[in-house]
Amino acid sequence: MLAAVLYGPFDLRLEEVKIPKVGKDEVLIRVKAVGVCKSDIHYYETGRCGSFVIKEPLILGHECSGEVVEVGENVNNVKVGDRVAIEPGFPCRTCNYCKEGRYNLCQKIRFYGTPPINGCFAEYVVADADFVYKLPDSISFEEGALLEPLSVGIHAVRRGRIKPGDKVAVLGAGPIGLVTLQVAKAFGASLLISTDKVDYLLEAAEELGADVTINVNKEDVVRRVLEVTGEGVDTVVEASGSPEALGQAMEIVKRGGTIVQVGIFPEPEFPVKMVYLVDKEIDLRGSFRYVNTYPLAMELVKEGKVKLKPLVTHVLPLTEIKRGFEIARKKLNKVIKVVIRP
């Protein structure tokens, strides 16, 4: 089968590799759509993403949907021909984190496109059957792939304990920011503020439910948020991975409020005015991937409470994946989300 293999920064090669074999509890899936994630771009540009470092050639990609072509002998939840979305992390199921229902923290988890586990920028992938979900006819393969970033948004909103009537700021209007914005609205947020440096992304945020949009290059974010809210917002979701944005979050969250950090920072260390954390009694919470989100993600899309189609701005074949990565990383042609169709 054809796959896109990353050897190092900017060294992405199309190669023929073996189709993976199916175990008794696994399914083989013909890949139909894969989203290009910002984490894929981090690996592409630097060979690393956060604490994960590529040490040998790796197939990237984890936002995936496709069609079942083979099932293992113990599999009964899906059958050949089913259209499916794949939750791309397969935990051990036996550690304390897994048993507590926090399998996203499992230290033995095998996650697509994360060293040393190959991902799904390929024609076929194998997945654990219990992490494969049948897609309703109303959800396209492209939307099925984007259930993964939507799950990130759901987990972030849950971590932020967002409830009806809350005022929420989402910093960053990329794909994660845009889905988080919609989930916060679905959970009942009464005021939604979106910030970014790019006007067309802020326009998308407004179309998808933002009440207030702020271009951080043109306005003082702190001043504007306090003008709109008075005392600040109940919850800030930082989805840009910008140290400056985290600093803004400390100032715009109200006393006793919550900051949820989703974005991955470019450097492991940077200065932040932590005095706000104590003085305002802020809850600063990390949000890592997701846990038990896919059924809800599908329901939100089916019910029209979250719109994924507007995020898909570019669809390319696997043979043009390098062009897709360049479009995504350089933000060309008003890109929001690039989807690869192997």
Residue from 81, 100, 108, 34 nearest 321 by CA: 34
pLDDT of residue 267: 83
- Same domain for 38 and 99, yes or no, is yes
- 7 by Cβ neighbours in 10 Å (0-12 / 13-18 / 19+) ranks as middle
Domain end, chosen from 286, 316, 332, is at 286
Residues 161 and 135 reside in one and the same domain: no
- Is the same domain home to 73 and 138? yes
In this structure, the answer to whether residues 169 and 136 fall within a common structural domain is no
- The verdict on pTM exceeding 0.85 is yes
Instruction: Tell me if 67 is assigned to some domain.
Output: yes
CATH number of the domain that residue 229 is part of: 3.40.50.720
Is the domain of 163 the same as that of 123?
no
Do 332 and 225 fall within a single domain? no
Three-state DSSP class for residue 244:
helix
Q: State the first-to-last Cα distance of the chain, in angstroms, to the nearest integer.
A: 10
Tell me which residue range forms the domain holding 47.
Answer: 2-146+308-341
Report if residue 193 sits inside a domain. yes
In three state form, how does the secondary structure of 14-30 look? EEECCCCCCCCCEEEEE
Q: In the sheet where 2-8 sits, what is the strand order?
A: 11-16, 2-8, 58-59
**98 and 173 within one domain:** no
* Axis-axis angle for helices 294-302, 147-159 (nearest 10): 110
pLDDT at site 154: 98
- Alpha-carbon distance of 132 to 87, in angstroms, equals 6
pLDDT of residue 24: 98
| Contact present, 91 and 292 (Cβ < 8 Å) | no
Rounded CA separation 304/106 (Å): 32
For residue 330, the model assigns a pLDDT of: 95
Structural domain count, the chain? 2
In a domain, 300, yes or no: no
Identify the residue whose tokens are 């009694």.
281
The answer to whether residue 298 is domain-embedded is: no
Instruction: Output the domain CATH number for residue 78.
Output: 3.90.180.10
- Domain match, 172 and 217 both: yes
Within this chain, do residues 160 and 271 fall inside the same structural domain, yes or no? Answer: yes
Are 92 and 156 contained in the same domain?
no
Give the pLDDT of residue 221.
Answer: 98
Q: How many CA atoms lie within 13 A of 303 on its CB side?
A: 10
SS3 of 95, please? coil
The tens-digit pLDDT sequence of the chain (342 residues) is 999 999 999 999 999 999 999 999 999 999 999 999 999 999 999 999 888 999 999 999 999 999 999 999 999 999 999 999 999 999 999 999 999 999 999 999 999 999 999 999 999 999 999 999 999 999 999 999 999 999 999 999 999 999 999 999 999 999 999 999 999 999 999 999 999 999 999 999 999 999 999 999 999 999 999 999 999 999 999 999 999 999 999 999 999 999 999 999 888 889 988 999 999 999 999 999 999 999 999 999 999 999 999 999 999 999 999 999 999 999 999 999 999 999
Same domain, residue pair 209 and 326: no
